Chains A and B, each alone.
Chain A
Amino acid sequence: MRALSQAALILLAALIPAGLTAAFHPQRPPWSEETLLPGEARIQTVLAWGGDVQWIDARSAKDYEAEHVPGAILLNLEDWDQLFPRFLDQWNPEKKAVVYCSSTACELSHEVAERLQKDGISPVYVLKGGWEAWKSRK
């Protein structure tokens, strides 16, 4: 019985720092219920990570050359065999890998993220809204 009441007390006590985290932590999660697919992160979340991010551009080489997120590495499934070794040369495991493609409608970023995870790169996130979300960031 004592164990139960103590456990209840512990569960309640943890609510205090949790509430403070929810209110003030600079990297607190967004609360909105807008659906995210598994592994997807919002642009605001990724921006809050600051310099801790390695951007990965899953679009075509043509789109990449036209414009890309500063510091992003080109990595798409089309030229995977050539691009992946180049990616590994630049890859810093300390950073969070964030993959993007052109918009919400494209699947490429998810496919690249999945392939990266299979090859042992982790954690990998997918930018919700892709390049469009980056362009319209505040």
Chain B
Amino acid sequence: MEEPKVISAWRKAAWPDIRKLGRVLVRIALGALFVFAGATKAYDPGAFAIEIQRYQLVPWILCALVSVYLPWLEMLAGVLLFLKRFQRGALLVITLLLLVFTFALASAMFRGLSIDCGCFGKAFTATGTTVPLLRNLVLLVFTGILWMEHR
């Protein structure tokens, strides 16, 4: 059945707005998630360092250094994603971080380590690695959507 002309005209006119709204929502979700993830870990870097060590990827001193640095980097990038001036840089940092996290989770899964993601400090635990890995892939799609805007 053919669509009435009024509706197709409306759809045509509204489509750019719908897309714009979608991108705004994606931006809010991604930025807020990074701020939240950073804050939960900045609260207790000592425990986060141990979570990193469970991945058995880097020596202890690097786990310790990452545990004090990464939470702030996540929060900073999450906040700056909302500032027009710094959007591109923040998006680049977030994309790179997600790639690193995805690699770490996939390698833990591949090596059969039974560990927790450690992504949100003590806020969410007993999550395993599969769900966080899938979530990361969705978040990478989100960054893809935002990159399209900056083409």
Q: Which residues of A contact B (CB under 8 A)?
A: 2-11, 13-15, 17-19, 21-22, 25, 27-31, 33-36, 38-41, 45, 48-49, 96, 114, 117-118, 120-123, 125
Give the distance in Å from the alpha carbon of A18 to the alpha carbon of B89 in the complex: 19
- Give the residue among B46, B47, B49, B63 with the most A Cβ atoms within 10 A: B46
Closest partner residue, chain A, to B88 (CB atom): A3
Q: How many residues of B contact A (CB 8 A)?
A: 43
Interface check B45, CB cutoff 8 A: yes
Q: Which residues of B contact A (CB under 8 A)?
A: 42-51, 53-54, 56, 59-61, 63-65, 67-69, 71-73, 76-77, 80, 86, 88-93, 96, 114-116, 122, 125-126, 150
Given B50, B65, B86, which contacts A39 in the complex, CB threshold below 8 Å?
A: B50
Contact A123 B116 (CB under 8 A): yes
* 16 contacts across the A-B interface (CB closer than 8 A): A7-B90, A7-B93, A10-B80, A10-B86, A10-B93, A14-B69, A17-B42, A21-B42, A21-B71, A27-B47, A30-B64, A31-B64, A33-B61, A48-B46, A49-B46, A114-B114
Please give, as numbers and ranges, the residues of chain A lying within 8 Å of B50 by CB-CB distance. Answer: 29, 36, 39-41, 45, 123, 125
Contact B73 A27 (CB under 8 A): no
Shortest Cβ distance from residue A30 to the other chain B in the assembled complex, whole angstroms: 7
Please give, as numbers and ranges, the residues of chain A lying within 8 Å of B45 by CB-CB distance. Answer: 21, 25, 27-29
Contact A3 B68 (CB under 8 A): no
Given A2, A19, A25, A40, which contacts B88 in the complex, CB threshold below 8 Å?
A: A2
Please give, as numbers and ranges, the residues of chain A lying within 8 Å of B56 by CB-CB distance. Answer: 38
Please give, as numbers and ranges, the residues of chain B lying within 8 Å of A29 by CB-CB distance. Answer: 45-46, 48-50, 63-64, 67-68
Closest partner residue, chain B, to A25 (CB atom): B45
Give the distance in Å from the alpha carbon of A29 to the alpha carbon of B89 in the complex: 29
Closest partner residue, chain B, to A4 (CB atom): B92
Shortest Cβ distance from residue A49 to the other chain B in the assembled complex, whole angstroms: 8
